[in-house]
Each structure stands twice: as C-alpha cells, then as structure tokens.
Chains A and B, each alone.
Chain A
Amino acid sequence: MSPLKRWLQQLREYEDIAEVGGIARRYLAMNAFDGVLTIIGVLVGNYAAGVQSARVVIFTGLATSMAMGVSGFWGAYFTESAERKRDLDDLESYTLTDLEDTKIGRASRTAAIVVSLVDGFAPFLAALVALLPFFLTPLWGNIYRSYYLSLSMALGVLFALGAFLGAISRENIALTGVKMIGAGLLSMVLGYLLKLFGG
C-alpha cells in the first residue's frame, strides 16, 4: 500500500474513532455562514460609505476574511483540544490505562486539528468567494457592478450552504437554500439603512 493510501486509511480510522464527521460538518456550515454574513457587512458598509476603489474593498475584505480564519482556527483548536482531552481523561479513568500513545489518543489530537482547519478555512474561503468580483473590476471598469455581483455571489454561497444543510437533514434543498438567503438579505437591508440614515 502506498504511503498516501496508508495515510488516508489511517485518517478514516481516526474519523471512525473520534467521530469527527458530524462536528466538522456543523463547523463548516456555521462558520462559512458567519464568513459570508461578515463579508456582506463589509461590502454594504463600503457601499454605504461611498467607497469607489476596488483596492480598498479588496484589502478590507481580505483582512477581515483572514482575521475570521485565524479566529476560527485558534478558537476551535483550543476548545476542541480541551474537550477531547477531558473525554480522554474520563475514558482513562474507566480503562485504567494511559491512552495518550494509542490510536484513541492520536485520533483525538488529529480530530482537534481537522476541526480547527475546517473552522478556519470555512469562513475565509466563503468570504473570498464573495470578494472575487472585485478582483475582476478592471475587466468591466464599474465598481457598482462589482458590488452587485459580489453581493449576488454572497447570496449564492448562502443558498449553497442552505442546500448543503438541507441535504444533510434530508429536507427540500431549495427551501433550505432560500431560508439561508433570508439572513443575507436582512443583513443587506440593515446595512443599507445606515446609508439612508447616515446621509
């Protein structure tokens, strides 16, 4: 068996032992949702403030996305590590053996890293997708087109997330997708009200 195949088999084994799948899916959906809504806030805020430079929007958006990624990774790593260490200590009190250097210990530590990576990359990538049109602003030369496309892409990501959750819970994926878009639209409306009241 090749080293890569062996490594993947080991990951699958750790996934079975540590039951990472459910937690990772939850973090993926929750944090991608946070990432998209945050970037919608950044975009609507820039729009309301009358920012005409794609460069400003890109830098603001990227800095925000990266901060979300770091926050997601860091927070999840320490939280998940603490919880899993507690579970391992609890199990050790039953088996009366040291489980640190066993498959169970390694699965536990791997799970914390996997979940942290999902928690970090999910909001970062979701926000990046929404920002993509601004990178292409020189193609059409109209900042407002970039704003509208970006916001549309953000809504598209929200729909995809909703559909993903609908697929997991075996509900109507179109309906769950539309429900998620509702949150995005509400954020846009609230942000736009700033422009109206702010002048």
Chain B
Amino acid sequence: MGKIRRLVLDVLKPHQPTIIEWAKQLSDLEGVDAVNLNVYEIDQKVENVKVTIQGKDISYEKIVELIQENGGSLHSVDEVVGGALIIEESITLQDYRRPGD
C-alpha cells in the first residue's frame, strides 16, 4: 500500500491548546518526521492554521483524530504527497500567465 509522505491541512482551532502543544503532539505521532504550523488568521476565540506534516508513513486518520481531540476542525486537505519520494507540484504551461492576463 502507498505511503503518505506529506500533508498540508487547513485547520480551525481554539487558542488553547497552543500551536506549540499541537506541534509536540503531532511530531510525536509514529511516521511523522516534522511538522510546520503557521497561523494565518486569528480572532477572539479561534485561529486558522496551515498544518504541514512530513514523514515516512503518515497516518491521516491519526492526524484527524488528534485534531478533533484538541478541539480543532479540519477545513480542507490542501496538499498530499505520497510514495517513495517527496515531489513538488509540476509546473505546466497553464501555470504561466501571458502579459495582460
């Protein structure tokens, strides 16, 4: 079965537990090598966080469980990388803009 190597998630979470606590818990999961949490929006009670997780064999289900356990909600899965290597998105002609577009 294929392995998930990177996940980029959009999460809404309460301020507590903090992203520091989240980072510790996520990086403690089996198969996770590193995490990056980036708060891109904040208001009185909640914050929107871009969660990037990279590892050798990430369990999506365990990540979702941890997010829910900490009171967060998963808004979207924005990027997934799977397989033996981590590859970036391929640039195609459609990604280029003509002058004036």
Interface residues of A (CB under 8 A from B): 13, 16-19, 90-91, 94-97, 99, 102-105
B 20-49 to A, binary, CB cutoff 8 A, 1 in contact else 0: 010000000000000000000000011000
Interface residues in chain B, defined as those with a beta carbon under 8 Å from any beta carbon in chain A: 12-14, 16-18, 21, 45-46, 68-73
A96 touches B17 (CB 8 A): no
A19: chain B residues at CB < 8 Å are 16
Q: List 16 A-B contacts (CB under 8 A).
A: A17-B16, A18-B16, A19-B16, A91-B46, A94-B14, A94-B45, A94-B46, A95-B14, A95-B72, A97-B72, A97-B73, A99-B14, A102-B71, A104-B14, A104-B16, A104-B71
Docked pose: A103 CA to B21 CA in angstroms: 12
Contact indicator B14/A16 (Cβ below 8 Å): no
Interchain CB contact (< 8 A) of B45 among A13, A17, A91: A91
What is the CB-to-nearest-CB distance from A106 to chain B, in angstroms, rounded to a whole number?
A: 10
Kindly report which residue of chain A lies nearest to residue B45, judged by CB atoms: A94
CB contact under 8 A between A96 and B69, given known A16-B16, A17-B16: no
Chain A residues in 8 Å Cβ range of B72:
95, 97
A98–chain B nearest beta-carbon distance, Å: 9
